[in-house]
């Protein structure tokens, strides 16, 4: 089944992007009929020369609010590759030769993820939340990782300009490694600390930052941190 996960995720992400792009591409826009707020980001970087590289990134998020309750769905993919070209002169003399060009390509980064969470408010500025997710990052040794989290959080700031939320949770993880390590367990409990921050600089510019730190309670050397920072600047309409 694992061989279908990556194509399935890429197809699902592409469909999300295609569906969300008319509503929002990098800038959140609310659909009054469904109550969903969505943003989609697509980026592509190419460099050329004797060595060339290509990086493609996709990311989509959907949120729906019911009074103070909310559901957040996210998915994304990053794939990077590089090509090195070498040219050699082969022949009997410096004036009689053939120019031979050889190119070698390899994947340098590959990461896919989907995750979701549900927030339920408590009295004051606290909340309960639960979530689950899947990720694949073979370059860090993870062929497939499923995780579930449940915990509490605090909303410290939430207005039109600044929003700050912190979360604290217990987690349970099941993972398959690219190269299995018999000395480690593939299923384990852990703890998680996370935050999300948003700053609306002006009507067209917004900065967002999120951090997720996970620690394996059965192997304290297994500590993972995922940090995402982004700045969106609206150029026209739904584009940023």
C-alpha distances out from residue 78 to 8, 117, 136, 236, Å: 15, 22, 11, 26
Tens digits of pLDDT across the chain (240 residues): 444 444 444 444 444 443 333 333 344 444 444 588 888 888 889 888 778 899 999 999 999 988 888 999 999 999 999 998 888 888 888 788 888 888 888 999 899 999 999 999 987 778 999 999 999 999 888 999 999 999 999 989 988 899 999 999 999 999 999 998 887 888 999 999 999 999 998 888 999 999 999 999 988 888 999 898 888 777 665 555
pTM: 0.71
Q: Which residues, 6+ apart, have CB-to-CB distance to 14 below 8 Å? A: 58
Q: Which domains does the chain have, with CATH numbers?
A: 2-80+111-233 (2.40.230)
Count other Cβ atoms within 10 Å, centred on residue 65.
Answer: 14
Helical ranges in the chain per DSSP H: 5-20
């Amino acid at each position: 089944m694992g061989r279908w996960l990556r194509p399935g995720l890429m197809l699902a992400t592409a469909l999300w992007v295609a569906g969300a792009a008319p509503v929002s591409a990098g800038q959140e826009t609310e659909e009054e009929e469904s109550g969903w707020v969505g943003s989609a980001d697509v980026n592509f970087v190419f460099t050329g020369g004797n060595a060339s590289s290509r990086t493609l990134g996709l990311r989509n998020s959907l949120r729906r609010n019911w009074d103070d309750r909310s559901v957040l769905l996210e998915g994304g993919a990053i794939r990077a590759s590089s090509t090195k070209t070498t040219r050699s002169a082969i022949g009997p003399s410096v004036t009689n030769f053939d120019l031979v060009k050889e190119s070698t390509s390899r994947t340098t980064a590959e990461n896919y993820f989907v995750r979701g969470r549900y927030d339920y408010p408590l009295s004051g500025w606290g909340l309960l939340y639960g979530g689950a997710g899947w990720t694949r990052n073979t370059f860090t040794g993870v062929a497939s990782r499923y995780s579930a989290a449940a915990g509490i959080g605090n909303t410290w700031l939430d207005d039109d300009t600044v929003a700050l939320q912190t979360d604290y949770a217990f987690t349970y993880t099941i993972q398959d490694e690219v190269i299995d390590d018999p000395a480690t367990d593939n299923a384990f409990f852990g703890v998680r600390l996370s935050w999300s921050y948003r700053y609306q600089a002006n009507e067209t510019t917004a900065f967002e930052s999120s951090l997720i730190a996970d620690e394996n309670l059965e192997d304290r050397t297994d500590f993972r941190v995922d940090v995402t920072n982004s700045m969106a600047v609206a150029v026209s309409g739904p584009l940023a």
